[in-house]
Amino acid sequence: MKISEVPQEVAGLLRQAGGFTDEMIEALDPKMVKLMAKVPEMLQYDVVMDCFESTGCTAGIRAGNKIVMNAFGILDKEKTDCNVCVWALANLPFYLSMVWDRFGEGIDPNGMWWNTIECIDTGPFHGGVGKTYYKIRLEKRN
């Protein structure tokens, strides 16, 4: 894709946020350029992981806690009300890919059928230590 075919607001965003060169921008798949045009809209939302069940979590995450980040997966420490465990986040990239896909196609990301994830620890009854489960939703930022 020629740099002249990329909307200037998209090229500017890529240059500013990611340090992209013209060569890098031209190498992008046209679908990615379409998706990048949705970034301002995506950044108006928080991704919220609401813990609804917790068994033996040594990070201290309990039912009722929430982990909050933007649509790029950047943690919002002020809105997150618990410790953040890497095991709890391990399945999140798959979910965020679906969020991005839905934004790119103009579909409500809260309408996903699969909106529940679990940490990857197997829990105390299956050779691990703890286990947590989360409902994932997008919430419009204030």
Range of the domain at 122: 45-140
1 has a pLDDT exceeding 80: no
Lowest mean pLDDT of 4-8, 16-20, 45-49, 65-69, name the range: 4-8
Share of the chain above pLDDT 90, in %: 60
Q: Return the biggest CA–CA distance within the chain.
A: 58
Could you give the number of structural domains in the chain?
A: 2
Residue 34: band (very low, low, confident or very high) from pLDDT cuts 50, 70, 90: confident
Q: Report the DSSP beta bridge partners of residue 135.
A: 50, 116
Tell me the average pLDDT across 23-47: 89
For residues 8 and 58, membership in a common domain is answered with: no
Render pLDDT for 63-78 as a digit per residue (tens, 0 to 9): 999 999 998 889 999 9
For residues 29 and 61, membership in a common domain is answered with: no
Cα 47 versus chain centre, distance = 6
